Each structure stands twice: as C-alpha cells, then as structure tokens.
Amino acid sequence: MIGVIAAALLGATTWTFLEYVIHRWMGHDRRFRRSPFGVEHIRHHAEGDYFAPTWKKLAFAAAVTVVLCIPAIAIAGAPVGGAYIAGLMLCYGVYEVLHRRNHTHAASGPYGRWRRRHHFHHHFVDGRTNHGVTSPLWDHVFGTYQQPAVIEVPRRLVMRWLLDPATGDVRAEHARGFSLGKAVAARAPR
C-alpha cells in the first residue's frame, strides 16, 4: 500500500515538473513556437480567455497515458505503475481546471489568490518567469521565479472577475494586487 501511495505522489510530482517544462520550453522557447502546443499557447497569451479545445487536451492525456502506462507497469508492476500514471493524470486534470479558473473566476482562499497573481505576473509582466501554474517549485529550482508586485492588466485582456461592473475599474478587493493598463496591441509571449 505504501508503494502505491508513493507512486501516486511521484506521479503528481512528475506532473508539476512536466507542467513547468511544457510551459517554459514548448510555450515560450522560439524553437518550439510552431509546435501544436506552442501555437495554442501563443493564442492563449494573445487572447487571454482562449483555451485549447477540450478534445485536444483529452487526446494529449490519452496519448501520455498510453505511452507511459506500458513502461510504468513493466518497471513497477500493475498496482504501483498504475498508481504512478493515475497520480500524473489526476494532477494534469487538476492543473487544467485550476488554470482555467485563474482566468474565469475570482480567487477563493490564499492559494487561489497566490495562484492568480503568480500566473498573471507571467501573462502580463514577464513571460520569462513563473512558468509553474499550480506550483512555484520548479520556478525556484530553475531560477525563473519572480515575486509579483502590482500587476498591470491590459484592458483588452482583463479578466471579468477583476472588473467592478459599476465603475469599470478593478474591484476594490483586488486593487492591492492589480491595476488596469492602457489599451495596447497584443504581443507574443517571450
């Protein structure tokens, strides 16, 4: 039982590493900009509320599961190998939900507030930093973590949850961490 739990935790940790690697290099390294992920990622930065279609994400998850399942089970046996894959894919699913919620819903709780500021610093301040969406672990390891200050959000990319509908400005509860910038042309992520 301990082996199965450890394998699931190792799978979850592996996802945090893959999240960082995929985002940093496939999304922001110019050599990979024309890859399927790179194209989707550039569009996400340019449009803000754009997310790749769910079928693409499910196809990715299925392909990763197929590719990794056989070696994981061959190396560790069915229960432990299966637990590793389950931990990995569960965390991928959690990542997808949390990333979308960063853009679509106001934060609830300290982790949600941290996650949005960390992620939107990446989007609007410096695309070379804060590649981990759910964890800063690998940003610290690879030296790409940057503490967010006040994040200036371009008006054309502002998240609905950030705006006060009565004033058209940043809601009072978010004003310490966010401000609205001028309307500027989109730029590709760095």
pLDDT at position 188, please?
53
Residue 182, helix vs strand vs coil:
coil
pLDDT in tens, 75-117: 999 999 999 999 999 999 999 999 999 999 999 899 999 999 9
Q: Where do the H-state alpha helices sit in 77-188?
A: 78-104, 109-124, 137-142
Contacts with 140 (C-beta within 8 Å, 6 or more apart), sequence order:
none
d(CA 131, CA 66): 26
Asked, for residue 190, whether it belongs to a domain, the answer is no
Nearest to 92 by CA among 17, 29, 5, 25: 17
Residue 22 belongs to a domain = yes
List b or e across 52-79, with b for residues whose CB sees 16 or more CB atoms inside 10 angstroms: beeeeeeebeeebeeebbeebbeebeee
62 assigned to some structural domain: yes
Does 188 fall in a domain?
A: no
Say whether 6 sits in a helix, a strand or coil.
Answer: helix
Q: Does 189 reside within a domain?
A: no
Mind listing the pLDDT tens digit for each residue in 38-74? 999 999 999 988 999 999 999 999 999 999 999 999 9
Q: Are 169 and 105 in contact (CB under 8 A)?
A: no
Domain of 52 in residue numbering reads as 2-180
Tokens of 31: 């050599």
Q: What is the total count of domains within the chain?
A: 1
Residue 186 falls inside a structural domain: no
Mean of per-residue pLDDT scores for the chain: 93
Please report, rounded to a whole number, the percentage of residues in the chain having pLDDT higher than 70. Answer: 96
Nearest-angstrom CA–CA distance, 48 and 46: 6
How many alpha carbons fall within 13 Å on the CB side of residue 54? 3
Of 24, 50, 54, nearest in space to 122 by CA: 24
What share of the chain in percent tops pLDDT 90? 91
Residue 138: inside a domain: yes
Residue 185 lies in a domain: no
